Amino acid sequence: MDLATLSTLVGALTLARATAGSDLSERILAAARQALPDTTAAHEAPPRAEG
């Protein structure tokens, strides 16, 4: 992972948490997803535990 990708991820998560519960939070995360390359095919995350 390069520095620009890491910076985008950290910034998006920080801003999304600061605006949690609002439409802006979802828009921030969506914009970060679009801006970053899709690497999910190579690194699938495990399913999240229900709880």
The pLDDT tens digits of the residues spanning 26-36 come to 999 999 999 98
Residue 40 lies in a domain: no
Spans of the chain below 50 pLDDT: none
Closest listed residue to residue 15, CA positions, set 6, 23, 24: 24
Residue 44 lies in a domain: no
Report the number of distinct structural domains present in the chain: 1
DSSP state letters, 17-47 = HHTTTSHHHHHHHHHHHHHS---TTTSPPPP
Report how far residue 5's alpha carbon sits from residue 42's, in angstroms, rounded to the nearest whole number. 16
Residue 25 lies in a domain: yes
- Do residues 38 and 50 touch, judged by C-beta distance below 8 A? no
Residue 11 lies in a domain: yes
Structural tokens at position 21 = 């519960």
Give the global pTM.
0.68
The parent domain of residue 18 ranges over 3-35
